Structure 1
Amino acid sequence: MTFHSISSQGENSSVIRSWCESNGYSYLGEKGGELQIAASQSTEARFTYIKEICSISDEIYELAIEGEPPHCEVKITYSGERGLRYALNAIGQLKKRGEWREGVKYDYPLFSIRGIIEGFYGQPWNQEQRLNMLRFIASNNMNTYIYGPKDDVYHRERWQELYDEESYSRLSEVFSEATALGLDFYYSIAPGLSMRYSSEEQFEALIRKVGQIYELGVKHFCLLLDDIPGELQHQEDIRIYRDLSEAHIQLVNRFYTEIMKWDAGIRLIVCPTQYCGIGNERYISKLGSSIHPSIDLFWTGRNICSQEITLSEASVFTQHTHRKPLYWDNYPVNDVEMTDEMHIGPYRLRDRHLYRFSRGIIANGMEYAESSKIAYATIASYLWNPEQYDPEVSWREALEEVVGRSDFEHMLQFADNVRYSCLYPTDSPMLAAELTRFNFAYFYGDRKQGIDELEQFVTKMSNSAAALLSNSMENRELQKELQRWVLKFSVGCALLQDCMDYIRSQDADDLLRVHSNYDLYRSDVTYVFADVLVSFLNKVLEQHFTIK
């Protein structure tokens, strides 16, 4: 089943042409393509209104498919340009997954705001990575990208200074690409580390800086007041304001009033200093009750990196701040204390009805752009339809999309042992299951068969480690990012084989080798296998598996 060329009739042929160019299809205008698309926009209620969230939308589409590739016709009906883009993405996915069949597909997203923020500490993505990421999230039906890398000096440290020509040009390129892809581009600025809230000069500098970005055509902004002291720091501010919340209320409202003078279509998101918790604390309640109701507030949930996000937590926040939370979800980010972890597991433990009680979700990424895509793909799947979202199915699809089909099985063997994160406090579920079966077989079943089967599993993992360390991976950038973790995975596999050798031989020299290699393994703090392997190794070293 294949087609390589597409022809179209109807409105927005430029969008279809652009999509074809980005996805490797030949665009042949109005005739001649193996796949013929007829696209038309509709203003009917079913194409402009999403009942579940009681919201007008430009993201609804319907596909009516007739025929089988390579010669078939698709009629697309859509509410807006985004709906058309998502319909085209659906065509690509149906072909890629071999699920092409005649019939009608009517679809729309349940979360209104679906996107990512480049908001981590560490090396920001380079321009190529950033532009590539925009194309990736657009292909996965996200609609928002927020620029806010903590280590961009113009964003945080030197927030008062205008961008130099080169940096300004790069931002312009990112904004233009995001716009071309149908994404909302947000520029964020973080003045809170040094700002004197009572200083007219510094407020004017803030407006001047944001105004420079507005001149690019940007109409979406974030004012970030996170990760700063929780009390006023400057004597001038202490004399004028009763506390930090009062200073922030005045700053946010004045800032919003000023930028709204430029354009009525401007949107603002604020990240408060207290951005996690129960949602009824004094600072966040006072801030939410006092700022303009059109301003969105970021919230990370109960914790900075929340294991779960529930409806009850969202309702408390809404009640006390008078607006639904816009979640800044700190996954898959792995900065600060998490730098030894690699977060490539699936998105989990977000309530399937959260879309009813939140503005949306923005996911914070890792400085490892290619690796972040794995989690991002599962997040995109959840955000489109959380009620039907299956973490494991989505994860396997994400691995295949990012890694490539040829490396999928090897990557699955590896990735199953680096699931640990705030969302997955254990690790290595496949290995854990194998070790459980082995333990039972060794003491209560067929001992030889148990040893043979575990050794076969270890060999399979070792082969995958070798393949991922070779120079043949399809996604070379991903291979480079993961190398540290794959090396630790390889060492762990070798140590498991040492254990199997000892269990078979019961030889003291083999046990000594386990001891020696175990010390080497523990000296590397790269986080792989979590406690699953260590627990097994401790049993081996304690001679738990000694023939009696």
Structure 2
Amino acid sequence: MALNLGVIEGFFGKPWSWADRTTVLRTLAGAGYRFYHYGPKADPFLRRRWREPHPPEQFAPLAAFAAECRRLGVRFGVALTPAGSTHPFNEESRAALTRKLRQLDALGIDDLAILFDDLPADLPDLARSQAELVDFCANNSRATQVFFCPSFYSDDPILERAWGKRPPDYLQRLGRHLDRKVRVYWTGEEVVSREIGVAHLERVQHELGRKVCLWDNYPVNDGVRMSQYLHLRAFTGRPAAIRHHVTGHAINPASQPLLSCIPALTLAASYREGERYAYGQAFLTAATKVLGADFGTMLHRDILPLQDTGLDNLGPRFAELRERYGAIDHPAAREITDWLDGRFRTTLEEVQTQ
């Protein structure tokens, strides 16, 4: 059974260029990725300034990217975070959403994702209010699939500490109020889940009354802490058997677009190979495809300092790595040297203001 693999571009910090997105799209489309949801936190016209239309100089490349998705047989979607629209969900909110949805329809979107992640959630009747807004968007959009990321998109207690107390029976209430066709994004037992297993997915399906679509926060490396690490290793902790318990599996990629393709390719391999999957070999195969054999072998050798040590703790290894990757004329090598030079650090201000 083929699984619906996708990308949810939903990270904080420095956004990708349109050329970066196109490279990732073409690389992953060839490996079986079938949807791409555009929703970088750095795009203010999808978040804090969502009531304003995208200006023409930003709308044009977005439309061109949507067209490239269609050419490659990849469903294109936009992820909208309509902050401040549910309480109250009044005529002003409806009018603003209608205007926004008309502009997104002009792109020819296949999917519409409504996100309420990382917003204050200590609000009355949260599940019903959010479901009402999602239903309104679904009825006023030409998108043929609607996705929804709830305020509490994981069991992780960090969400309550950050955004407010989880309402009793939140998932059950969402399941009752949301249209059955709406696909719900879910990250697993944690915001950044080490493992996503069948038993957990069965429990969430029971509470929601539907299978979830995974929003996998690997290899994403945004935030003040995570941006000190490159997430390169092959996927583990996602057994192929979970394909029967989800409607799809989307990755939230890293700030480094080309390097993100390496673990992304291994996820496709893990589902394809099942019990025959070997994560070390999967990394080498994917790295060779993206980087070439010599560069891929070099990166495999340096995974420990790049992924586990942390930028501030490299010590004398910093100069060695900077010299080695600075000598390689390859865009992925420049992603590594830019990371070493601190150009991918995500600041607390970016997290708080994007």
100, 103, 117: which one aligns with 1:212: 103
Please show how residues 58-457 of structure 1 align to structure 2 within 5 Å: 109=2, 111=3, 113-193=4-84, 196-232=87-123, 242-259=124-141, 262=142, 266-277=144-155, 282-336=169-223, 337-420=225-308
What are the Cα deviations for residues 357-387 of structure 1, in whole angstroms up to 9, with x where unaligned?
1112100011211221121111222244434
**3-state SS of the aligned residue for 2:214?**
strand
Matched to 2:191, the amino acid is I
Checking the alignment, whether the CA contact within 8 Å between 1:160 and 1:209 is kept in structure 2 is yes
Bigger RCO (CA 8 Å, 6+ sep): 2
Q: Tell me the equivalent position of 1:77.
A: none
Question: C-alpha offsets along residues 172-206 of structure 1, whole Å, 9 cap, x if unaligned?
Answer: 01100011011011111101256544221122211
Q: Distance in 2 between matches of 1:356 and 1:281?
A: 28
1:57-89 per-position Cα deviation (integer Å, ceiling 9, x unaligned): xxxxxxxxxxxxxxxxxxxxxxxxxxxxxxxxx
The residue type equivalent to 2:215 in the other structure is W
Q: Distance in 1 between matches of 2:92 and 2:318?
A: 62
Q: Distance in 2 between matches of 1:378 and 1:310?
A: 18
Percent identical residues: 26
- What is the aligned length? 328
Change in Cα spacing, 1:126 to 1:462, as seen in structure 2 (3 Å) is closer
State the match for 1:73 in structure 2: none
User: TM-score w.r.t. structure 2 length?
Assistant: 0.85
Inter-CA distance 274–470: structure 2 relative to 1 (3 Å threshold): closer
Gaps of 5+ in 2: 157-165, 310-316, 346-354
CA gap 1:474/1:282 in 2 versus in 1, 3 angstroms: same
Deviation track 1:495-521 (CA, whole Å, cap 9, x = no partner) reads: xxxxxxxxxxxxxxxxxxxxxxxxxxx
Contact 1:403 1:474 in 2 (8 A): no
SS at match of 1:386: helix
Confirm or deny: 8 A CA contact 2:326 2:337 kept in the other structure: no
Question: Amino acid of the residue matched to residue 66 of structure 2?
Answer: F
Asked whether the equivalents of residues 404 and 474 of structure 1 are also in contact (C-alpha less than 8 Å), the reply is: no
Mark the CA change 1:211 to 1:389 in structure 2 (over 3 Å): closer, same or farther: farther
Given the two structures, how large is their TM-score scaled by the length of structure 1?
0.56
Q: Indicate if the aligned counterparts of 1:280 and 1:317 stay in contact, CA closer than 8 A.
A: no
Alpha-carbon spacing, 1:248–1:335, altered in 2? closer, same or farther (3 Å) = same
> Mean alpha-carbon deviation: is it higher for 271-280 or for 461-470?
461-470
Q: What is the distance in 1 between the residues matched to 2:74 and 2:87? A: 34
Q: Distance in 2 between matches of 1:373 and 1:353?
A: 23
- 1-structure distance, mates of 2:184, 2:270: 21
Rounded Cα–Cα distance in structure 2 between residues aligned with 1:128 and 1:186? 18
- Cα distance between partner residues in 1 of 2:205 and 2:189: 14
8 Å CA contact 2:101, 2:137 repeated in 1:
no
Q: Is the 8 A contact 1:468 1:486 kept in 2?
A: no
Conserved? CA contact 1:324–1:357, under 8 Å? yes
Per-residue CA deviations over 1:269-308 (Å, capped at 9, x if unaligned) read: 0000000018996212211222110100000000100110
Deviation for aligned residue 1:158? 0.7
AA matched with 2:105: Y
CA displacement at 1:411 relative to structure 2: 1.8
Change (3 A) 1:470 1:209: closer
The 2-side partners of 1:190 and 1:117 are apart by: 13
The answer to whether the aligner puts 1:479 opposite 2:333 as a matched pair is yes
